[in-house]
Amino acid sequence: MDDYSLYISDSLNGTIAGIRGIYPEIGLVVSFLLVIFSELFFVKRIKQLPFWITLISLAVVFTLTIKQFAIGDSLTLYSGMIVLQPASVYFKLLFLLSAILFIVFVRNNQQMQQHKKGTGDLYAVLIAVLLGMNCMAMSANLLMVYLSIETVSIGSYIMVGYISGDGKQAEASIKYALFGAACSAIMLYGISLIYSFTGTLNLNADLLEGLNAIPVWSAGLAITLFLVGLGFKMSFVPLHFWSPDVYEGAPTPVTAFLTTGSKIAGFALLWRVLEAFNSSGNAISVYDFQGLIGIVAIVTMLFGNLAAIWQDNIKRMLAYSSIGHTGFLMMALVANTAGFKSLIFYLFIYLLTNVAAFMLVDKVEQESGSVNISTYLGLGKSMPLTFISLLIVLISLTGLPPTSGFVAKFLVFGSALESYKSSGSSLILWMMITGAVTTVVSLFYYFKVPLYAYLRKTESILPREKFDVKLVISLVLTFLVLIFGIFPQVITDLIN
Amino acid sequence: MNLLSILTFLPLIAGIIILVAPSGWQKQFKYITLAVTLVQIAISGYIYFHFDNSLRGVDLINSYQFKEQISWIRLDLGSMGKLQIDYFLGIDGLSVPFLLLTSIIMMVATISSWEIKTNLKGYFALFLLLDTAIIGVFCALDFFLFYIFYELMLLPLYFLIGMWGGVRREYAAIKFFLYTLAGSVFMLLIMVGLYFSVTDPETGNHTFNMVHMMNPANYSGDSIFGSLAQQTLLGIPARLLGFIILFIAFAIKVPIVPLHTWLPDAHVEAPTPVSIILAGILLKVGGYGILRICYGIFPDAAIHTSWWLGLIGVVSIVYGALNALAQKDLKRLIAYSSVSHMGFVLLGTASLTAEGAAGSVMQMISHGFLSAMLFFLVGIVYNRVHDREIANFRGLANIMPQYTAFVMIAFFASLGLPGFSAFIAEAFSLIGAFNSETVNGAIPRWMAIAGSVGILLSAAYFLWTLQRMFFGQTRLMGGEEWRTKLNDLTMREKLALAPLALLALILGVFPSLAFDKINGSVLELIHHVTGK
Amino acid sequence: MEQHDIIPVVSLLAVLMPLLSFVLCMFFVPKSISGKVAVSSIAVSFIASCFVFFKIWNAGNIHIQHHWFTLGQTSWDVGLLLNNLSALMILLVSGIAFLVHIYSLAYMKGDENIDRYWGYLSLFCSSMLGLVIADNLLLIYIFWELVGFSSYLLIGFWRTRDAAVQANKKAFIMNRLGDLGFLLALMILYSQFGTLDIEKLFGDGGLFHLSQFTSGEWIAPLGHISYVWLLVCGFGFVFGALAKSAQFPLHTWLPDAMEGPTAVSSLIHAATMVAAGVFLLVRVSPIFDSTVLITIAVIGIFTAFMASTIALVQNDIKRILAYSTISQLGFMMLAIGIGNNGAAIFHLATHAFFKCLLFLCAGSVIHEMHYAKNKLDADCDHQDIRNMGGLRKMMPLTFVTMVIAALALCGIPLTSGYLSKDAILISSFEWATTRSFAAKLIPYLAMLTSWLTTFYIARLIFKVFYGELRIQGDKTERLIHEAPRFMLMPQLFLAVCSAFFLFSVNPLSYENTWLLKVFPGSVALERIHSYHTVIPALLNLFAVLIIYFAYIQYARKEKAMFRENTWLYNFALNGWYFDEFYHQAIVRPVTYVSKFSFSIDRKVIDGLVDIVGKSGVLLSSIAGWLDRKLIDGFVNLAGRAAAGLGNFFRSFQSGRIQYYLAVMIFVVLTFFVLRYFSPAI
Amino acid sequence: MTPEQIIFYVFAALVIISALLAVVVKSLVRSIFLFFVTLFAVAGLFVLSLGDFVAVTQIIVYVGGVLVLMLFAFMLSSKELLNTLELVKTRYSAVQNIPAIVLSLALFFILVFALVKSNVNQLDWINGGNHLSVSDNTVQIIGINLMTNYLFPFEVASVFLMMALIGAAHLARKDKAE
Amino acid sequence: MIPLSNFMMLSAALFVIGLYAVLVKRNVIQLLIGIEFMINAALINFVAAGKSDKNYMGGQMTALFTIVIAAASVAVALAIILNVYKYYKSIDPDKLNKLRD
């Protein structure tokens, strides 16, 4: 019995020492409990108490996360379960930003506020999901990976099905849940194969040696099955089927959160996995991630942009466009370390533009009741501010110069070119060409909105534009998108 | 404050004022815009006359004039070094005439905008944004800044054609946008490639500065576009591929024959002031881009491909003229004639001789004035009777004598009657093209001869139109009702047409006004490209 | 101002005065006094030209230059070159113009837009004068086209008449065609010598003489190209001259140009503009080598013969004179072709006087006939000689002057025409003696043509002035009376000039005319005395016979010798069907090609987009449904293919969850198998 | 054939047969029951490979929790469906199965092929010393590990469960107003 | 001692059966059962391989966590299924295709 005693004492010391590295996560758990209590007991008296508690606690966690920069280089905690790096801190900040914007969006979303069962639970689920995302960004162990993906996924099923006001949202949540459950089951099976082949779950060097011992394609099979789960979160091509239907069906704030938050979490996890598999100075290249990402990126870009041409429902179009952007972002991943800065910048701009886009779309839906682009006739004049900022956001999504979308695409092109120079594989070249072609194609469906809103007239009387908080926030976001286009170094200096 | 920056951003500020101003001031918008364009003429006139002809510019950075260089973006990209983008404006012989041309054409377009009745605030804001973008394109010496202004031009034009255009305006607007964007997106790739290949001699990190891109010393050894690395992309030598892609991007704007199908649609559907700007200045951006960027940055590739450029030029001249001969709609005829006249620009540039290049720049300037005048004239008839079919009019001279006088001046000037600038330009482009075989063997002699056929064909379609529409007994499709509507020129219209006609005449009689400015830079460009 | 540099200023004055009057008449001066302004300006320039002529003739050349603009390394200058040729031409042009201006005062009185007429006429005079004294070929080219442009304006002066508008378009385009040749020649000279200054090129120490022609190469200071290009340069100038002087391939515009006012035709299409072609050939004569000279001669004589046969059967008085001008110009071309430039210039001068006189008399006749027609409002063509007759009684002075001009045209002794035509005929015989048999044909053909000339001018005179007036109505004789004073004075003056004494003392031999001695021939012709006597005698004998024969034929109305509708008659009547030939051979194919190229543009390039697009769309099964979804106006290739592909991708989104999972697993498996087992498969 | 192997083959057969039947059978109730049998067989296998604590958890959590939940869900959702199913006995959507069967068999062959090729048994980490023996007190080892190496996932799992509870309760709760 | 490959063969079979169920079954609950089969297959692998990982007990620990997670996810899935049933009156996955292209 005693052989464990000395072992226990030093692992307990490790645990206590580890706490220093996970202040943000602790903050999240505390706020999770606070929200639950406020939801249960105080909601009768102060209606929006959970909202304010969540907001304040997120702000606190934000400051805690910023302090984490001081940790310096990577720090493995809790016996290899999680590893804390500056990279994952950036991702955590992005998750928090996306969560804050989500809460504010929920606060101003008519559909959510009129929900009879109240939005308290949503905030609690959100915080749990946030914790899951943080773990995704930090996980260094396959069990940790599975647990964090499950937390984020289950939380998202709940959020998608939260209101289930009409058939569509229920259908969206069931599709999301089933597809997600199947993918995570496949991923779990992949992890079990990896475990059986290598004997360890920690994403480190000896896992690579284990995989090296067995024939290359059986290791490939195990990793491919594992990547299926990851692909579900990032929704690149073979795993993208769920996203158009779910994004269209889910309530707009949740869609905004899914396209930004959970997608960025997917990228964080892929970044962690890539770093782990390449960290051994690619002495042992077990699996050709470069080729996989290249092909998947090209197909995703083509699929996302080409399919979007047909969409009439604005949310469905934005869904396809976010698939297109995923493909484009994977180009940054191909350049591994060099591409990190452009990846973070692109994700940050993508976060701002997407949330702004969904807020504006929601505002148009709320005031004019039109969800399809073809019913946007003549709205350009009657809702000037909304549609000007929507136009700027769409221009940024296309990547035309004055906006930050262009600088983001430019940086990604730059990092891809850099990796082409070092590796010289023509696949990267084809990726860049596809990127350019799909940018031109994307112009077409993004410009259907101003085409209908401005260029086409309608006789019917159109609603006046109400100046409310949502419009203010989206104007601020649009202004940021423009300013970062002209002075991008404000952001890039922060990312080192 | 640097003159060029004032010239560039004055319209933008005015545009913002118009956007912010209450829409009750509808009437004042056009006067504000007119005031802005007049100030622009004053500034560019001042710049034009204080321009030191001896300084050559092109690839010598310190001989650019009215320079303004402020560091704008300094991104630190980790292993990829620091991204250095400067706000770098400057002009030399190639770009100074275009500044004056742009301001004058903008003034004429403003005067012709009196006819616009709907949504004036949006119209004039977009108009001034377009003005800023065009001036910016001509002044920018930093490739990134050039690209931003180049793309910024597309947006206002898309909406100007899309919202105030004719019947099939959406189709024309989106076709125009897609054509240009397709070209420019691939230009972005080349720009990125160039960025990574060139290092700024002073600061040592990568740079977008076009002038640094011009001299091969700044290219680092293993870079993609490095001259000695001889890298190949998809099997084609990198520098040649870069030249071809940049050339295609600008050729769409010129436009050359296979890529020209957007021009007739855009012109036919655009409102008169927009098609004045489109024909007057935007076609020149293509020509200017080829001279400044394609020939400046890839001189070696320019020599290899000059035969093909000459061939495209000749094909454009003849094909455009033949098409113009077959047109029923007057505006479409003038659009095709623009394609033909811009073919001379390409022929002159491809000849790589001093006469040819100077002739092509002169052709761009003179075509700017003349095509603006032509489209304005078409606009006059269209606004009165909303019809442009040549067959529907006969004997207009009897009921609109002054209008006919201006039309005859415009037609004869454009078909190259001596005494007007187009003759000097076309004659010297052809002489340069013919001469190039002895000077540097760039293009064969038969191309000059084939090109001169274009002069004959342009005489044919202009005179045919003149005879069909203006002379003979007056017979109008709209009969009596049209006759009452077709009153002669108003004072405003004469005020717009007179300066253009006068300028074409003055440039024709005293070409030294333009040639003195262009000569230095043209010689430097020829020296830069051919080393002679 | 010392003697020597007044002359250029005066000559410049001669050129600029009409330009000033053009500007005044067009824009500033009221209709009523525009005539006086124009006449006074041409008067000043005539006096200036006389002054310049007497100062320059046989007294050395003056050549001043002023910097125009620098382009690349070469600097282009603008200047005046006054030598014997330009002095003579400037005198000739301003003189004839002055007379025509006076004539037009009466002829065009009462026309409602008379100020435009005076403006155009002044523009023509200034550009013609400029052409004559310009010092470099580019400047000549500029004035050359301006002359074409002003003739375009003048031909189409009565722009309500469709025929006039067709004619001026045809004239301008044909001239433009000729100018292409001219421009090509300029290009060759510039690329070889780097300058277009006549003095530098063809002057005595000029660059042209430095170039050698060895083994098929033309070595010149700036470059060496194959000898062919020298021929091309020569033919370029010739082609330009042919268009301007309405010679064989490009002559059909001149008869149509008769739509313009007769005063215009007399000035432009008789004396000055058409002479510009000959002037240019003389200016650049050193360029031509033997082959080019022979072609000029052949074209000249062929045109002369062809035009005279056509003139035989024309009925419109002005068209006869037009064809006669073409044939006389053919003679001048022949003179240049055989190398005797002096004879060409001499004939040009004399022809200018008597042809202008013929046109002015014709103008008076038409003027009166037109007046009579209006009075009787008979609907016959007032220019058709078949309606005229017996006018010698009503218009005696016009009759006398027209007869003098006709005699000059036939080359009857005592007239200037005799001297100049003989010069050409005799030197052509002398030229032919040393040539091959085929070349000998040319002089005889020339002789035949001069006889034909005599016949058709005689036919014209007798038809117009003898017999009785053929317009219906009884008392028409009283309606037609002598031409007004302003029209008669120029006619009389010109009649005087058509006599021999203006050019040489001895009426019978052309050798010692002061004009010939100045111009050196490009080919030395040794003088064969016998020809000088036999040929003129033979010529005039037959001429008199033909006149008598014509007198019987037309004046006394015996039996009609020529049957009206023979094949040959119609062939000549329609100008050897050249017009129809050109229309079929050139105009229709060009319009067809342009329509074809437009259809290419519309169908092929945009069409290519559709065809490829459609085949792309077939990829997805739901083509019909696709069109309904297709965004209206979305056409081009990338668009269609992208739309097709996009729809193919989208068809997977069937909404059924199990279908999604199945496709997902299928794709993952295939990717895995391909990735790892592709070498095995 | 040691008794151990016999038991293994018994349990293996039980798992495969009951799983196949659960999938093939039409009525939901029978398939849930067969699912119940499969879970028990799997628990047996766990015991065989010395995972006794896991086997017990499996029975309590899985069989007790998941199965019961499914029965309730079935009760609440399929009343009409049950009787409609009885009436309509057609062999529904047979055609749609073929591609699924082909796909599953293909995957199965690939998996088997991978296992055989990488002859898992000889892997060095499997034959290394570090081997569980029957006498080890697995519960103690699990307890210690849970509190030391796997402490972080343990905490996160607790938050996860709480969230799932709130979410499921929220979704299933009747609206206040009704 | 039963070799690990037997267990993995068995788990592969169970996984494939689960997959087949997911792709074919007409009732969402049976589909969930399919997913549970796939998870159980993974559990078998984990526990069988975990036998030879004494000090970290990676296999068995993961099995425990997985069971807990699977239970929670089934609970949420069933809650969603009830919601769907409320609106669609049927839980046949093929009928749920209002959200489509």
Distance from CA of D99 to the nearest CA of C (A): 9
User: DSSP states of B240-256 as a string?
Assistant: HHHHHHHHHHHHHHTT-
Is D147 among the domain residues? yes
Of C1 and A491, the one with more pLDDT: A491
What pLDDT score does A280 carry?
59
Q: Let me know if B228 is exposed, middle or buried by CB neighbors in 10 A (0-12, 13-18, 19+).
A: exposed
Taking the C-alpha atoms of residue B84 and residue A297, their distance in angstroms, rounded to an integer, is: 29
Better-scored residue on pLDDT, C550 or E64: E64
pLDDT above 90 for B200: no
Q: Are A338 and A415 in contact (CB under 8 A)?
A: yes
CA angle, C644 then C645 then C649, to 5°: 120
Chains touching chain A at 3 or more Cβ pairs under 8 angstroms? B, C, D, E
Please give the residue of chain D at the shortest CA–CA distance from E78. Answer: D73
**pLDDT for the residue C247:** 85
Domains and CATH numbers, chain E: 4-88 (1.10.287.3510)
- Contact (CB, 8 A) for B379 and B386: no
Which residue in the set B80, B119, B185 is minimally distant from A439, CB to CB? B185
pLDDT at residue C494 in the model: 85
How close D104 gets to chain C, by Cα (Å)? 9
Check CB contact under 8 Å for C658 and E96: no
Q: Are E and C close enough to touch, i.e. 3+ CB pairs under 8 angstroms?
A: yes
CB contact under 8 A, D110 and C665: no
Q: What is the DSSP string of C296-324?
A: HHHHHHHHHHHHHHHHHH--BHHHHHHHH
Strand blocks (E) in C407-545:
none
pLDDT in tens, B410-453: 999 998 899 899 999 999 999 999 888 888 888 888 888 898 88
Over chain A (496 residues), what is each successive 10-residue block's mean pLDDT? 67 80 90 90 79 92 88 78 87 94 90 83 93 92 93 93 81 90 93 89 81 83 90 87 89 92 92 80 67 89 86 89 91 76 90 94 88 84 87 90 87 84 81 88 84 79 81 92 86 77
DSSP state string for C152-167: HHHHTSSTTSHHHHHH
Q: Is position D91 within any domain?
A: no
B140 touches chain C (CB under 8 A): no
pLDDT in the model for residue C7: 83
E5 in contact with A, Cβ within 8 Å: no
Within 8 A of A243 by CB-CB distance, chain C residues are none
Verify whether the Cβ–Cβ distance B182 to C69 is below 8 Å.
Answer: no
* Minimal CA separation from E97 to chain C, in Å: 5
Nearest beta carbon to residue E94 from set C656, C661, C662: C656
Using the CB atoms, write b or e for E59-82: b if 16+ within 10 Å. bbbbbbbbbbbbbbbbbbbbbbbb
Say whether residue C633 is in contact with chain A using an 8 A CB cutoff.
Answer: no
Position B42 scores a pLDDT of 94
Which sign, positive or negative, has the C-alpha torsion C650, C651, C655, C659? negative
Residue C549 pLDDT greater than 60, yes or no: yes
- Chain A interface includes B35 (CB < 8 A): no
Best mutation target among A178, A198, A316, A445 (most E Cβ atoms within 10 Å) is: A178
Give the pLDDT of residue D94.
45
CA–CA distance, B446 with B434 (Å, rounded to integer)? 8
Omega into B237 within 30° of 0, i.e. cis? no
Q: Which of A310, A302, A308 is nearest to A321 (CA)?
A: A308
Q: Is the pLDDT assigned to residue C612 strictly greater than 70?
A: no
Query: How many Å apart are CA D64 and CA D67, to the nearest integer?
Result: 6
Query: CA A474 to CA A355: how far, in whole Å?
Result: 8
Place of tokens 């519960």: D139
Contact A450 B151 (CB under 8 A): no
Beta bridge partners of C225: C218
Whether chains B and E touch (3+ CB pairs under 8 A) is answered by: no
Q: β-strand C212-214 against B65-76: which pairing, if any?
A: unpaired
Q: Show Cβ contacts of residue A454 under 8 Å, excluding neighbours closer than 6 positions.
A: A380, A381, A387, B159, B162, B163
**Residues of chain A neighbouring D162 (CB-CB closer than 8 A):** 32, 36, 128
Q: Which residue, A62, A39, A61, is CA-closest to A50?
A: A39
DSSP B478: T
Residue D42 lies in a domain: yes
Same domain flag for D75 and D8: yes
| C-beta of residue B191 within 8 angstroms of C-beta of residue A406 | no
Nearest to A324 by CA among A425, A443, A479: A443
Rounded Cα–Cα distance for residues B520 and A440 (Å)? 39
C194-204 residue pLDDT tens: 888 888 888 77
- 60-99 in chain D: CB under 8 A from chain C: 99
The pLDDT tens digits for D12-66 are 999 999 999 988 887 888 888 899 999 999 999 999 888 889 999 999 988 888 8
Average pLDDT of the residues in C348-353: 87
Query: C461, C458, C459, C456: which is closest to C399 by C-alpha?
Result: C461
Q: Is residue D109 part of a domain?
A: no
- Structure confidence at residue A10 (pLDDT): 79
Dihedral pair phi/psi, residue C85, rounded to 5°: -60, -50
Contact A137, A344 (CB under 8 A): no
CA distance, residue C680 to nearest chain E CA (Å): 24
Q: What is the dihedral of CA C163, C169, C173, C178, to 10 degrees?
A: 60
Considering only CB atoms, C675 lies closest to which of A220, A239, A440, namely A220
Which residues of chain B lie closer than 8 angstroms to C177, CB-CB?
A: 456
Residue type, A43: V
Per-domain boundaries in chain B: 3-530
User: What is the rounded distance in angstroms from the CA atom of residue A131 to the CA atom of residue A79?
Assistant: 19
Asked if D110 lies within 8 A of A221 by C-beta distance, the reply is yes
User: What is the tally of helices (H) and strands (E) in chain A?
Assistant: 23, 2
Percent of chain B with pLDDT over 90: 33
Say yes or no for a CB contact (<8 Å) between E94 and C651: no
pLDDT in tens, C632-641: 334 445 566 7
Half-sphere exposure of A93 (CA within 13 A, CB side): 18
Check if A164 contacts E (Cβ < 8 Å). Answer: yes
Other C-beta atoms lying within 10 Å of the C-beta of residue D49: 25
Confidence at C646, pLDDT banded by 50, 70, 90: confident
How high is the pLDDT of residue B229? 63
Mean pLDDT across chain C, nearest whole number? 80
Would you say C249 and C306 are in contact if contact means Cβ atoms under 8 Å apart?
A: no
- Residue-wise pLDDT tens digits, C377-431: 767 777 787 777 777 788 888 888 888 888 888 888 888 888 888 888 888 888 8
Position C680 scores a pLDDT of 59
Q: Look at E75 and D119 and tell me if their CB atoms are within 8 Å.
A: no
CB-closest option in B79, B148, B196 to A401: B148
In a domain, D93, yes or no: no
Show me where the domains of chain A are located: 289-496
Q: Which residues 6+ apart lie within 8 Å of A17 measured at CB?
A: none
E strands in C375-448: none
Q: How far is CA D48 from the centre of its chain?
A: 16
pLDDT digits (tens, 9 = 90+) for D88-129: 444 444 446 788 888 899 999 999 988 888 887 877 777 776
Give E99's contacts in chain C (Cβ within 8 Å): 655
**Opening angle at CA A259, ends A257 and A262, nearest 5:** 70
Which two three-digit tokens encode residue B29?
């918008």
- Chain D neighbours among A 119-158 (CB < 8 Å)? 121, 124-125, 128-129, 131-132, 135, 141, 143-144, 147-148, 150-151, 154-155, 157-158
In contact, B137 and B130? CB cutoff 8 Å: no
- In whole angstroms, what is the distance from residue A386 CA to residue A465 CA? 8
Coil/strand/helix, residue C277: helix
Chain D residues with CB-CB distance to C657 below 8 A: none
B50-56 CB contacts, 8 Å cutoff, 24+ apart: B51/B91, B51/B96, B51/B517, B53/B93, B53/B516, B53/B517, B53/B519, B53/B520, B54/B520, B55/B92, B55/B520, B56/B92, B56/B93, B56/B520, B56/B521, B56/B523, B56/B524
Annotate C569-609 with DSSP letters as a single string: HHHHHTGGGHHHHHIIIIIHHHHHHHHHHHHIIIIIIHHHH
If one counts every other C-beta atom within 10 angstroms of the C-beta of residue B200, the result is 16
Alpha-carbon distance of B470 to C162, in angstroms, equals 11
C605 touches chain B (CB under 8 A): yes
B136: amino acid identity, one letter: G
Q: Are D20 and D33 in contact (CB under 8 A)?
A: no
Q: Does B502 touch chain C (CB under 8 A)?
A: no
**Interchain contact C651–E (C-beta under 8 A):** yes
Q: Measure B40 CA to nearest chain A CA, in Å.
A: 24
Measured between its terminal Cα atoms, the distance across chain A in Å is 49
Query: Which residues are CB-contacts of E21 (< 8 A; sequence separation ≥ 6)?
Result: D22, D23, E30, E31, E33, E34, E37
Lowest-confidence region among B3-17, C335-349, C572-586: C572-586
Residue-wise burial string across A97-117, b where 16 or more C-beta atoms lie within 10 A, e elsewhere? bbbbbbbbbbbbbebbeebeb
Range of the domain at D71: 1-83
Please tell me the predicted confidence (pLDDT) of residue A367: 87
Can you give the CATH number for the domain in which D69 is found? 1.20.120.1200
* Number of domains composing chain D: 2
User: CA nearest A99: which of A125, A121, A117?
Assistant: A125
A196 interaction partners in chain D (CB closer than 8 Å): 120
C498: its two tokens? 């058509």
Same domain flag for D5 and D72: yes
Residues of D in Cβ contact (< 8 Å) with A131: 156, 159
E42 to B304, C665, D50, E14: CA distances (angstroms): 65, 18, 16, 9
ipTM of the complex: 0.78
DSSP D42: H
Q: Hey, which residues 55-94 in chain E have their CB within 8 Å of chain D?
A: 55-57, 59-61, 63-65, 67-76, 78-83, 85, 89-91
B24 touches B88 (CB < 8 A): no
pLDDT number for residue C170: 85
CB-neighbour burial class of residue C206 (10 A; exposed 0-12, middle 13-18, buried 19+): middle
Give me the pLDDT at residue A151, please: 94
Give which of C272, C539, C265 is closest to C420, Cα–Cα: C539
